[in-house]
Amino acid sequence: SELDQKFKNTIKSPADFLSFLKFVRIEQLIAVLSIVIILILPVHGAAMARSAGSNDPNEPWMETCLWLRLYTPDPGMNYNAIYEAPKSGELFEYPDTAYGVMSWWDYGHYIETIGYRMPNSNPFQAGIGGRSVSLDEENRPGAATFFTAQSEDEANAVLDAIDPRPGKVGARYIVSDTRMATDIFGAMPAWTLDTEGYYQSYWTGNGYQVIPSTRYFNSMESRLHILDGNGLKQYRLVHETWAYQTQEIGYKQVYNLLYGDSIPEVNTGYVKVFEYVKGAKITGTASSSNETVKINTTILTGQGRNFEYTQSTTTDSQGRYEFTVPYSTDGPIAGETQFDTAPTGPYILSYGDTTKEVRVSEEAVLNGDEIKV
């Protein structure tokens, strides 16, 4: 073109570029700038965003995954190794030391790539469990079925079913964050197709307010994150991060109103790590049958927060009682979880006018040993 020829005749060095501009019409300049804006700037912006990264994972999740890497037992698998896939129809042979980490699928890649631990579910939506089409289907074991389980026994059965190895369970650790207990909890029952009864709508005068109900508070997610696992036999809090301002306080206010309780209405660890253990069995005989026996201890977290762990039971016809407790009063041992959350003293066991102190070793908790009182 004429403009091309003028460019070749005029531009002999970078200094000649300004002289060439007198041959360029304004509409040609606008066309060039439009091409730059339409084609180049969006690519540049995306590249800058990609290079800068995102805000995920947030600081509590980053800290939690690093804690998992540093303070939980080595699963016995080389993180950087490439393992041969099993033959069709066969299962991969994990070492006996291997274990999974249960969390919602959103966080599986964090646990794997930062924590160097094997998640039970991940953003590829593997390991979620639940149902696909109908409530008549089996509620397949996975993250959805675990976190919506309505009892500790039901949750344990899910973990047992995940791992096909005899005597092994699918997860040793459960990691929860406040969003799982509040904002995104509804996705968990949605994957099971059984969504009724977790929330109720109430008219406030200014509109309907949706609040959690009994089925929500019975769920394993609520029992762990909102209630700190209080009263559970085989789950113990081993680590928590600092707290953020979240909806947790509102959920606790509803709980206290619904159950007439007085749990502290405060924000607690944004991310919490629980360990699934066999639990030590504390047995004894009280003074009479059908007598109420209680056991409790105060738990201190690594964030300096205290909460009460309590259980109660009723003696049998011969006055016998039994508790399974998940916390060691003697602290961590080498080669196992180096927890920073533990009782501040012994368990206090009481019935009638009798009060006893009970100490529990970490070995007893991990092995399921009996402690006779």
Cis peptide before 57 (omega within 30 of 0): yes
Closest CA to 323 of 273, 276, 286: 286
pLDDT for 49: 37
pLDDT for 19: 60
Tokens representing residue 310 in the block: 């309590």
Query: Could you give the residue range(s) of every CATH 2.60.40.3390 domain in the chain?
Result: 278-373
Q: Check if the beta carbon of residue 199 is closer than 8 Å to that of residue 215.
A: no
Question: Torsion-angle region of residue 316: left (phi > 0), alpha (psi -120 to 50) or beta?
Answer: beta
pLDDT for 51: 37
CB atoms within 10 A of CB 66: 13
Tokens representing residue 128 in the block: 């979620």
pLDDT for 204: 83
Q: Check if the beta carbon of residue 220 is closer than 8 Å to that of residue 159.
A: no
pLDDT for 99: 96
Pairing of strands 280-285, 370-372: parallel
Task: Provide the strand spans (E) within 21-94.
Answer: none
- What's 83's DSSP letter? P
Q: Which residues of 205-224 are buried (b: 16+ CB within 10 A; e: fewer)?
A: eeeeeeebeebbbbbbbbbb
Closest CA to 143 of 107, 115, 116: 107
Q: Rounded distance, CA 305 to CA 85, Å?
A: 45
pLDDT for 166: 82
Tokens representing residue 339 in the block: 């927890």
Q: What is the pTM of this model?
A: 0.85
Q: Rounded distance, CA 364 to CA 327, Å?
A: 10
| Secondary structure of 329-348 in HEC code, one letter for each residue | CCCCCCCCCCCCCEECCCEE
pLDDT for 111: 98
Instruction: Provide CATH code, domain 58-85+93-276.
Output: 3.40.50.12610
Task: Name 6's Cβ contacts closer than 8 Å, sequence gap at least 6.
Answer: 20, 23
pLDDT for 98: 94
Report, as ranges of residue numbers, the positions in the chain whose pLDDT lies below 50. 36, 40-53
pLDDT for 106: 96
Burial class (CB in 10 A: 0-12, 13-18, 19+), 166: exposed
Tokens representing residue 30 in the block: 């606008």
Q: In what order do the strands lie in the sheet with 280-285?
A: 320-325, 280-285, 370-372
Query: Could you give the residue range(s) of every CATH 3.40.50.12610 domain in the chain?
Result: 58-85+93-276
Q: Rounded distance, CA 159 to CA 170, Å?
A: 5
Q: Rounded distance, CA 34 to CA 21, Å?
A: 18
Closest CA to 240 of 229, 253, 250: 229
Q: Check if the beta carbon of residue 175 is closer than 8 Å to that of residue 103.
A: yes
pLDDT for 47: 45
State which CATH number among 2.60.40.3390, 3.40.50.10540, 1.10.357.10, 2.160.10.10 fits the domain covering 278-373: 2.60.40.3390
Q: Rounded distance, CA 24 to CA 31, Å?
A: 11
Q: Check if the beta carbon of residue 287 is closer than 8 Å to that of residue 319.
A: yes
